[in-house]
Chain A
Amino acid sequence: MNTLTKEIKQEVTEAVEGKDQKSASNVRVYSPNVDVMETEEAILFRVEMPGVDQSSVEISIEKDQLILEGKFVPPAESRGQVRLAEYKEGNYFRKFTIGKAIHSDKAIAKMKNGILELTIPKMEPKKTKIEIQK
């Protein structure tokens, strides 16, 4: 009864959410939880990537597209029989479009306790004065 409930629940949740797409390598890809904040000087991203090592995180900015990726490394040793599985391990992927002028080359990223903190400084809006020809 219980296992049946769990199985049905999983099927329905996946159908409703549709976000746990399987990639070609059969590793699940998850959309991580994100906090996005903006101060006067910068845009801040906090991304939850539990179980991902700092070395396997990739951040790229191309024009206004920010791509955050985290590769999951499976544990080497056997853990035994699965009794309860409320989460599945997998890769993280999320894409954002930044609608502000930013200094992508001055971005700072830190990884602490499974949370990626990314700070991207904003560009001062340039003011150009155009003279009217006589």
Chain B
Amino acid sequence: MLFRILDPQTKANQFWRDFDRLNDELTRSILDSQFGSASNYPPVNVYTKEDEALVTCLLPGIETDHIDINVKDNLLSIHGRKKAEELAEGTEVHRREIYNGEFHRTLELPFRVDQEHVLAKYSNGVLNIHLPRREEDKPKKVSIIAG
């Protein structure tokens, strides 16, 4: 914890409850960024337009058949495995910074997705997933008739 307030009476107060929550979240995220956390691997960016979303995901050095992408309603889940390079005998390891192992991420999108038209592309180590919004959920413009 970054800060610690040792006064149980403050717990009842809305402000301190919020403060504690913020405090908790901050501490966890700083620890994660320093020591790494499997829960936020791989890092993703999410961009949205009115009728589509784009999820970009940094996944260098992965085979495409080791990635599983599932979409249900407004949830996108990316699951996969990153295999470690096999080392020849007598190889001396000086540095190992690249992550290997299983990963699983679920992202919530602001709208329901048209599952049939999801498009995923992998190039230069970046996974791009295009997610179109469901036709029936798209905002409809109502035209006004002048009378």
Binding site for B on A (CB under 8 A): 1, 4-5, 8-9, 12-13, 16-17, 33-40, 46, 48-54, 79-87, 112-115
Total number of A-B contacts with CB less than 8 angstroms?
Answer: 124
User: Are A82 and B47 within 8 A (Cβ)?
Assistant: yes
Kindly identify which residue among A4, A33, A51 contacts B126, using a CB–CB cutoff of 8 Å.
A51
Binding site for A on B (CB under 8 A): 18, 21-22, 25-26, 29-30, 33-34, 40, 43-49, 52-54, 58-62, 85, 87-88, 90-99, 107, 110, 122, 124-126
User: Are A114 and B49 within 8 A (Cβ)?
Assistant: no
Q: Tell me the smallest distance from the CB of A26 to a CB of chain B, in Å.
A: 19
User: Are A16 and B30 within 8 A (Cβ)?
Assistant: yes
Residues of B within 8 A of A1 (CB): 18, 21-22
Residues of B within 8 A of A82 (CB): 45-47
User: Are B91 and A39 within 8 A (Cβ)?
Assistant: yes
User: Are B45 and A8 within 8 A (Cβ)?
Assistant: no
User: Are B125 and A114 within 8 A (Cβ)?
Assistant: yes
Question: Closest 9 CB pairs between A and B?
Answer: A114-B125, A114-B60, A50-B125, A80-B49, A79-B47, A33-B97, A115-B61, A84-B46, A36-B95
